[in-house]
Each structure stands twice: as structure tokens, then as C-alpha cells.
């Protein structure tokens, strides 16, 4: 083939080797199909990205496209077109040339064209990467359940506003709410120091480097637009991969760069395998398409020069029909580098004119149908595509090599402390295994029966919500807010149980103080990964078990039930045990709560960092008529000069009730480490928040202090009012009831708007 023709053909047909036809010719395909290569017009793969804990966004679109093109080419079955051909007859060189040494087979030189057999377009419906298990599990990416504007994979997605911090005094953005309760092994977060592969933990740069599990999922929608084959459909493909990788177990303490490096490397390697694994499904979806082409020229001797694509390798004997010319068939007589030579074997030869589109047929016995070809300038149909196939591809278990963490893993422990820690953990291994196993996140279908105990007997564990409520009503704070003046449970609560969404670290939904009040989804939804949201959702882990692996979420939920045992608690987990979260989880929780009927949304936490996700979530709740009860925060700040969120959003959104904490004498909480924030402009109410008896995971109880607990008491009080006033479903009506029932405390006028303190009334 002459150089000029080769260059001209390369303009219309570009292979995956950078668009160079000469470069493509140097590498022979791995195999050749029986009849020839099909030309595919491949649409650019959309940008799709995942943000990791280091706040870097990794765009897999270019990797996806490069991998796809290379595999299509190397298969030897396809040619990849970058543009549609010019749909006009070619008036280029049409003379036959006999090349010396080529025998008697004639070779022709012309500007060959191509007609794509199909246009392929790929949409990424889900791209998820998760690490760890139980409370350590972290979810990255998006899928049918966990997709919103903060993580939808598009380049315009809003970045996570809460990335991992470097080593600092405050390891997260939410103060001390998620601190470990002591330094002894017995006080670690729910036994999570075991984690995956606890038997092969080692110390690396003074930190525990462990063998941790990962899971990667890639869900694709491969659309095939093939008008010449009368096909307009798509294949749904899900590729799953899993295995082990090395993670930094101790990095949550100081959030060194090592945890980001390890997870980033694992994610990149996992998705390269997933993308490669998706190719088989793509090939199967288009391999049965007929060969297509165009008559480029007709020589004086009747030979047809067919544009079938550069180096398409069409075999002699392949039969085509001419679209729009019933009864006319042609057979390939010779393979050419820039197409194929053919002759008419049936029908009126005069109908075989340049510019006519051709389509492969099986045999001359086949009566060629003559559908009107759709314009190839637009290969996409306006009709709705239908699902042609569903495929699930499980990749082999893959253990990933250790990441290079040199220079990035800053020691959080001294060498001596690391050695001591390993000795202690060795001696307590069996205890830690027991502790880890005890945190079963499975929902228990029925609570234990009641067990009576003497009044005032603090040590006796309550076995039902009724026992929990009675013990709470003996507390000083219960008398302070008038809880002892109302029935344990309002009689009207059963007819319409108010739903309180707890956006927090999860809830121990098996705890006897909460279990009987757990919200159960009347219409659970099963996502693509098989998770069924029966009783809330874990947004940070990406699964259906919003279990509290810390303690804060259980604490606040138990105070809601203490004030209003008839409330239904909807656990929405957005924090892992160390207070790590992300914007997509926070916003997703607000949307879930509002969409599932929660009229009260409890946010018993505060951050000094402004978050668009928090504000957008509050605004969404307002549209759905929900009240957001927000903790004022525990830094002792004037919110007018040092704002905390969502607390100060009460100035902008009238559905936000901001609550600060007071002691038993109606004074702002002033305790070491816990100093209640205040503001006469943005703080709506005060409520007890000092040394309250609360529930903790594993059916535990403790004393705790925070404005989050004050917000929980307020949520319980509002839930009672909602049950007593079923017609008052709008947030404005509910807040008016809450304020009208409150008591004015003059000493709080400088800290709370109007000096109001919560009072429980039915």
C-alpha cells in the first residue's frame, strides 16, 4: 500500500497506538477473527473519579479509555474509529496496480473509508472501593445508594470538606466527642484494634502495619448503537474484586500520610484489574455484530473496492448485501490493506454504486432484508435502549503488594511505647478477640424480657426501655425539665410514633434502652450490593448496619428514648469510631432522614469548619418540613465570633434549633474539657448537659457531658409534643410549641436567646 494512501486512511481510522497507522502495523494482533475485524466507533469514556482520604481526586476516565482501546486492538478482532467516515463516494485513485513479486493477486490503491458496525458508549453507574470490616470499614466512591453531588464521580463534584488531618492536637473536625475513653487495651474502640489479619500484625515505623481486606466494585452500562444490525440496547456489567492489602492500623491516632498512600495504591491497583476484567463483557456484547462497510469505488472491470477499515483483514468469501438494494449480494475476492476487493454475485450490478452501504450476510440462501439504514452521522437512536444482558464478573482474589511508605509514615509512638504496646496486646490477645467478636452488628429480632430491680439500684442493668425510662426519671435533670410531671409515655404516642433521625456515629440498636424503639423501614430498599436498609444506613461504611463502634450515637439516642420512649430512633451513621466523615455521607444522611419521614433530625455534634454539605442538608430538611436539633458545641466559644456548624445555621434557616448545655443549677456547663458554647443570637434553647446517665454499646451505661446530650433531651421533648399534636407537622409549628413550653431563666439571657430552657410538656 502506498504511503499517501496509508496516511489518508489514517485520518479516518485511528488505532489505539496513539492514532498512528504505521505504529499499529508494527504490532501484530494476538489473533485474527474468522471473517475479519469489525470497526467500532467508541465514544470517549466520561470522567469518573474517586476522592480518597488525602483529599486528592483520582480520575479513572483516561485509564479506562486507554485500557479499553488497547484491549480492543490487541484482541485482533476490532478496529477503533475516532470519527465517523465522510459519507460520500470517493473519487480517488481507482486503477489496478500489479506489485512486483506479489504473484497474480491484484492490489489496489485508494483512499479507503469505514462504516462502524456499532457505536459503543460506556457509562459508569457505580465505582466503589471499601477497606476494612465492621467499624473499621470505610467506603469511597459512589453507587445506586451512596451517590450525590459530593461524590458522584464527575469532575465537577464538590470535594470532601473533611479530609484526614495530619498529626495535630485535634485528630478530627468535631472536638472531643469521639475520643477514646482511656488508654488501656480494655478501653479501645469496641475491640477494633484486632481488625483484619490480626495474627500477622507487625510494627512498621513504630506503627501497626496490618494485612487488611479491600473490596472494589465497578458497575458499567455498555450501550450498543448498531442501526445496520437493528440493535439499540445495553449490557449491565458488574465487576467485583477483593483481597488483602497492607494498611496502617495506628494511623488513625495521628492521621499520618501513610494511611492515604496505602489506600490510594490499593485502590489504583484494584481498579486497574476491574477495568481489565470488564473487557470480556464488552467484547461479548459486540462480537456477534455483522461486518459493515461502504462501496468506495467501482473499477471498469466491475471490481468493487470496499471501505471496510484500514487493515481490517476481511477474508475472501465473505458475503455482503447492499443496504437498500434487495436481492443484490457481493462476495469479497481479495483482502487489501485499505479495505477489500469484491464482485457482485447476485442481482443487478448497476445498483452497486459508490457510496452504497454494505452489511454482512451469512449465505446467498439468506433472503436479504432491506431495512432503511439509519443515518450514520448520528449512530445513536432516539428510541429508549433496552437491557440485553446482565453480567456479573468476580475477579480472582488478589493480595496486593506493600506500598512504599518511606518518608510518609510519621511515627505516632516512640519505639519504647510501641514495644510495650505489642507486649500488652500479646498478653491480652484472647480478651481482645472475645471483645471484637462480642460486637455483633446483627440486629436482634426480639429484646429480652423485663427484670425487676430495686429503685435507685444503679448497677442493675435495665432490660427494657420502660426500665431505662424509670431510671432516667430518678435523675436530677429529669425533675429540672419537668419530665417527672408527665406520664412515662404519652398515651397518644402509639397512634403516631414520632421518628427521630440520629445523624451520628451509629447506634447500638441491640441495647435494651433503644432496641424496642428502633425505627424499622416499612419499605426497605435492596441496593446493587445486596444491602437492605431495614433500620437505617451506615453512610461512612457503605452498608446497611449503622452500628455504633464508638459510643456517642448510642449516648444521644438513649436520652431521646429516656424523654420520649414512644419515639422511633432512625440510626444514620456518618462518623467512624475516630470521628472521620466526609461531605457525601453527611449530606446523604440528611436526605435519607427527610425522605423517610423523620420530622426531627438530631445533630448532637458541632464543627468549626464550614461545610456546604451540612448547609445543603439543612436546607433539604427544611424543604421537607423537618426540624434540625443542633448541638451548640463544647469549646466555650461565643458563636457570634467563633461560629460552629450546624449550630449557627439557625441564623439563616428557621428550621434549626440550636441547644446549649446547662448544669443542674441552670448555669452553662463549665467542666474540664467541656465548656458549652453560647450566643444570644444563634442559640435557641438550653437543656441539661452535665454528667447525665447515658447508654453505651454492649448494654453499658456511663456518665457523660456535652451539648450534644442537651440536644438529645430537646429532641425527646419535641418528639413528645409531635406525638401530642399530630396536626402540627410543619417545622414552624413544632418549633413554636417547643419555645412556648420553655421556661425563661434570666441568668441565661446573655447565652441563650430569651434565656429559654427546655421544659417537657404533653
Give the DSSP per-residue string, 169-223: SSSSSSTTTT--S-SSGGGSGGGTTS-TTGGG-EEETTEEEEEEEEEEEEEEEEE
Q: How confident is the model at residue 395 (pLDDT cuts 50, 70, 90)?
A: confident
Instruction: Detail the DSSP E strand segments found in 227-338.
Output: 231-248, 292-298, 304-307, 319-322, 329-336
Q: Please give the pLDDT value at position 83.
A: 66
**CA 625, CA 730: separation in Å to the nearest integer?**
5
pLDDT digits (tens, 9 = 90+) for 418-438: 667 667 667 777 776 776 676
Please choose, from the candidates 184, 244, 727, 656, the residue with its C-alpha nearest in 3D space to the C-alpha of residue 435. Answer: 184
- 90, 51 Cβ separation under 8 angstroms: no
pLDDT on residue 582: 92
Residues 204-231 have a mean pLDDT of 79
Q: Each residue of 573-587: pLDDT tens digit?
A: 999 888 889 999 999
Please give the mean pLDDT across all residues of the chain: 81
Average pLDDT for 471-491: 92
CATH code, domain with 576: 3.40.50.200
The model's pLDDT over 306-335, given as tens digits with 9 standing for 90+, comes to: 999 999 999 999 999 998 888 899 999 999
Grid coordinates belonging to 133: 470490616
Report how far residue 208's alpha carbon sits from residue 202's, in angstroms, rounded to the nearest whole number.
Answer: 6
Residues 212, 345, single domain; the answer is yes
Position 427 in a domain: no
Cα-Cα-Cα-Cα dihedral sign, residues 399, 402, 408, 414: positive
Beta carbons of 577 and 505 less than 8 angstroms apart: yes
* Whole-structure pTM value: 0.84
- Whether 652 and 741 map to the same domain: the answer is yes
Task: At 289, give phi and psi (nearest 5°).
Answer: -70, 145
259 domain residue, yes or no: yes
Side-chain half-sphere exposure of 9, counting CA atoms within 13 A: 31
pLDDT at 597 over 80: yes
Task: List Cβ neighbours of 269 (8 Å cut-off, separation of 6 or more).
Answer: 398, 400
Is the pLDDT reported for residue 607 higher than 50? yes
For residue 22, pLDDT beyond 90: no
pLDDT band at 156 (very low <50, low <70, confident <90, very high): low
**Res 711: pLDDT:** 98
Average pLDDT in the 457-461 region? Answer: 37
687 and 710 in contact (C-beta within 8 Å)?
yes
Domain boundary residue, one of 388, 408, 428: 408
Decide if 648 contacts 639 (C-beta within 8 A). Answer: yes
Q: Are residues 482 and 373 in the same domain?
A: no
Domain match, 394 and 528 both: no
677 in a structural domain? yes
- For residue 674, tell me if it sits in a domain: yes
Q: Specify if 445 maps to a domain.
A: no
Looking only at the bridges linking them, the beta strands covering 499-504 and 78-81 are: unpaired
Q: What percent of the chain has pLDDT over 70?
A: 76
Residue indicated by cell numbers 479499553: 68
Confidence of residue 225 (pLDDT cuts 50, 70, 90): very high
Number of H helices and E strands in the chain, helices first, is 15, 31
| CA torsion through residues 346, 349, 351, 355, sign | positive
> Distance (Å, rounded) from C-alpha 612 to C-alpha 616?
6
Quote the CA–CA distance of 44 and 14 in Å, as a whole number.
Answer: 14
CA 77, 378, 313 angle in degrees (round to 5)?
A: 20
Q: Is residue 642 part of a domain?
A: yes
**Angle at CA 65, nearest 5°, toward 87 and 268?**
175
Check whether residue 392 and residue 481 sit in a common domain: no
CA gap 684, 754 in Å, rounded: 8
Separation between Cα atoms, residue 526 and residue 638, nearest integer Å:
45
Residue listed under C-alpha cell 515505623: 205
416 in a domain, yes or no?
A: no
Of 72, 73, 75, 111, the C-alpha closest to 336 is 111
Bridging pattern class, strands 78-81 and 96-97: unpaired
Over the stretch 32-59, which tens digit does the pLDDT of each residue have? 467 999 999 988 888 888 887 667 788 8
Give the integer Cα–Cα distance in Å for 324 and 320: 12
Would you state the cell numbers that stand for residue 334, as one nine-digit string? Answer: 481479495
**d(Cα 703, Cα 638) in Å, to the nearest integer?**
26
Q: Three cell numbers at 56?
A: 486528592
Domain boundary pick from 367, 388, 408: 408
Grid cell of 173 as nine digits: 473536625
pLDDT of residue 164: 77
Asked if residue 199 and residue 61 are part of one domain, the reply reads: yes
- Phi/psi of residue 196, nearest 5 degrees: -80, 140
Residue 442 lies inside a defined structural domain of this protein: no
Inter-axis angle of helices 707-724 and 731-741, nearest 10: 110
Residues 369 and 492 in one domain: no
Average pLDDT over residues 197-208: 46
**Packing angle between helix 279-286 and helix 61-74, nearest 10 degrees?**
50
Look at residue 93 and tell me whether its pLDDT is greater than 70: no
Q: Which of 12, 6, 1, 2 is nearest to 79 (CA)?
A: 12
> Is-contact 533 146, C-beta < 8 A?
no
Residue in 674, 703, 707 with CA at minimum distance from that of residue 688:
707
Range of the domain at 245: 1-133+195-408
Lookup: cell for 299: 473499477
643 versus 278: which is more confidently predicted?
643
| pLDDT digits 0-9 by tens, 623-678 | 999 999 999 999 999 999 999 999 999 999 999 999 999 999 999 999 988 999 99
Whether the per-residue pLDDT at 166 is higher than 80: the answer is: no
Last residue of a domain, one of 369, 386, 408: 408
- The tally of domains found in the chain comes to 2
Among residues 671, 686, 657, the alpha carbon closest in space to that of 752 is found at 686
Backbone angles phi, psi at 13, to 5 degrees: -130, 120
In this prediction, residue 200 carries a pLDDT of 41
Locate all alpha helices (DSSP H) within 328-395, ordered by sequence: none
What pLDDT, on the 0 to 100 scale, is given for residue 742?
A: 97
Residue position matching grid coordinates 470499614: 137
Least confident of 19-28, 439-448, 546-555: 19-28
User: How far apart are the C-alpha atoms of 644 and 622, rounded to whole Å?
Assistant: 19
How far from the centroid of its chain's Cα atoms is residue 98's Cα?
62
Domain shared by 642 and 735, yes or no? yes
Give the residue-averaged pLDDT of 403-416. Answer: 62
* DSSP conformational letter for 566: T
Amino acid at each position: 500500500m502506498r504511503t499517501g494512501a496509508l496516511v489518508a486512511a489514517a485520518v479516518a481510522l485511528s488505532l489505539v497506538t496513539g492514532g498512528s497507522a504505521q505504529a499499529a502495523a508494527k504490532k501484530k494482533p494476538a489473533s485474527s477473527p474468522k471473517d475479519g475485524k469489525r470497526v467500532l466507533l467508541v465514544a470517549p469514556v466520561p470522567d469518573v473519579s474517586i476522592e480518597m482520604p488525602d483529599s486528592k481526586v483520582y480520575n479513572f476516565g483516561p485509564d479506562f479509555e486507554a485500557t479499553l482501546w488497547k484491549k480492543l486492538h490487541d484482541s485482533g478482532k476490532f478496529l477503533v474509529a475516532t470519527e465517523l467516515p465522510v459519507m460520500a463516494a470517493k473519487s480517488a485513485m481507482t486503477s489496478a496496480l500489479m506489485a512486483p513479486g506479489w504473484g497474480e493477486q491484484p492490489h489496489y490503491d485508494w483512499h479507503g473509508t469505514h462504516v462502524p458496525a456499532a457505536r459503543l458508549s460506556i457509562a459508569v453507574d457505580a465505582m466503589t472501593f471499601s477497606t476494612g470490616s465492621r467499624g473499621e470499614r470505610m467506603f469511597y466512591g459512589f453507587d445506586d445508594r451512596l451517590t450525590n453531588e459530593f461524590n458522584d464521580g464527575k469532575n465537577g463534584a464538590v470535594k470532601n470538606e473533611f479530609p484526614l488531618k495530619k498529626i495535630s492536637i485535634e485528630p478530627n473536625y468535631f472536638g472531643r466527642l469521639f475520643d477514646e475513653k482511656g488508654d488501656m487495651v480494655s478501653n479501645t474502640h469496641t475491640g477494633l484494634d484486632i481488625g483484619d489479619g490480626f495474627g500477622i500484625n507487625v510494627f512498621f515505623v513504630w506503627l501497626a502495619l496490618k494485612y487488611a481486606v479491600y473490596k472494589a466494585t465497578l458497575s458499567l452500562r455498555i450501550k450498543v448503537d448498531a442501526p445496520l444490525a437493528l440493535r439499540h440496547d445495553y449490557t449491565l456489567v458488574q465487576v467485583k474484586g477483593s483481597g488483602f492489602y497492607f494498611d496502617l492500623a495506628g494511623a488513625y491516632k495521628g492521621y499520618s500520610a501513610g494511611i492515604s498512600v496505602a489506600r490510594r495504591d490499593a485502590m489504583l491497583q484494584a481498579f486497574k484489574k476491574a477495568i481489565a476484567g470488564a473487557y470480556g463483557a464488552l467484547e461479548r456484547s459486540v462480537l456477534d455484530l455483522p461486518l459493515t462497510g461502504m462501496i468506495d469505488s467501482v473499477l471498469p472491470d466491475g471490481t468493487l473496492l470496499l471501505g471496510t477499515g484500514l487493515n481490517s483483514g476481511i477474508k475472501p468469501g465473505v458475503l455482503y448485501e447492499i443496504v437498500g438494494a434487495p436481492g443484490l449480494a457481493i462476495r469479497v475476492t481479495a483482502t487489501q490493506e485499505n479495505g477489500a476487493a469484491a464482485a457482485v454475485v447476485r442481482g443487478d450490478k448497476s445498483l452497486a454504486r459508490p457510496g452504497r452501504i454494505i452489511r454482512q450476510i451469512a449465505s446467498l440462501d439468506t433472503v436479504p432484508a432491506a431495512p432503511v439504514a439509519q443515518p450514520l452521522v448520528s449512530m445513536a437512536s432516539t428510541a429508549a435502549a433496552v437491557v440485553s444482558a446482565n453480567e456479573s464478573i468476580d475477579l480472582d482474589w488478589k493480595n496486593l503488594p506493600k506500598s512504599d511508605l518511606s518518608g510518609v509514615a510519621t511515627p505516632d509512638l516512640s519505639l519504647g511505647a510501641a514495644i510495650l504496646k505489642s507486649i500488652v496486646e500479646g498478653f491480652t490477645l484472647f480478651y481482645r478477640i472475645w471483645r471484637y467478636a462480642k460486637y455483633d452488628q446483627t440486629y436482634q429480632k426480639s429484646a429480652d424480657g423485663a427484670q425487676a430491680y430495686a429503685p435507685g439500684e444503679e448497677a442493675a442493668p435495665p432490660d427494657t426501655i420502660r426500665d431505662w425510662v424509670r431510671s432516667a426519671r430518678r435523675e436530677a435533670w429529669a425533675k429540672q425539665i419537668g419530665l417527672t410531671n408527665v406520664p412515662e409515655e404519652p398515651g397518644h404516642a402509639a397512634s403516631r410514633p414520632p421518628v427521630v433521625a440520629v445523624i451520628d456515629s451509629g447506634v447500638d440498636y441491640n441495647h435494651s434502652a433503644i432496641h424496642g424503639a428502633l425505627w424499622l423501614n416499612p419499605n426497605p430498599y435492596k441496593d446493587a450490593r445486596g444491602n437492605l436498609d431495614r433500620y437505617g444506613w451506615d453512610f461512612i461504611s457503605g452498608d446497611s448496619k449503622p452500628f455504633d463502634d464508638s459510643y456517642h450515637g448510642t449516648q444521644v439516642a438513649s436520652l431521646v428514648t429516656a424523654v420520649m420512649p414512644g419515639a422511633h430512633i432512625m440510626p444514620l451513621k456518618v462518623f467512624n469510631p475516630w470521628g472521620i466523615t466526609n461531605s457525601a455521607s453527611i449530606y446523604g444522611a440528611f436526605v435519607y432522614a427527610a425522605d423517610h419521614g423523620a420530622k426531627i433530625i438530631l445533630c448532637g455534634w458541632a464543627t468549626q469548619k464550614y461545610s456546604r454539605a451540612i448547609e445543603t442538608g439543612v436546607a433539604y430538611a427544611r424543604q421537607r418540613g423537618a426540624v434540625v436539633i443542633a448541638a451548640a458545641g463544647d469549646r466555650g466559644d461565643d458563636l457570634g465570633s467563633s461560629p460552629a456548624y450546624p449550630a449557627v445555621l439557625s441564623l439563616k434557616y428557621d428550621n434549626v434549633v440550636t441547644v446549649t448545655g446547662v448544669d443542674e443549677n441552670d448555669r452553662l456547663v463549665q467542666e474540664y474539657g467541656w465548656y458549652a458554647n453560647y450566643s444570644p443570637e444563634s442559640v435557641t434553647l438550653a437543656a441539661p448537659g452535665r454528667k447525665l446517665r447515658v447508654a453505651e454499646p454492649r448494654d453499658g451505661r456511663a456518665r457523660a457531658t456535652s451539648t450534644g446530650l442537651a440536644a438529645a433531651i430537646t429532641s425527646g421533648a419535641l418528639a413528645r409534643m409531635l406525638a401530642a399534636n399530630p396536626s402540627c407537622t410543619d417545622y414552624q409549628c413544632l418549633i413554636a410549641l417547643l419555645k412556648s413550653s420553655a421556661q425563661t431563666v434570666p441568668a441565661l439571657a446573655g447565652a441563650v436567646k430569651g434565656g429559654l430552657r427546655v421544659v417537657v410538656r404533653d
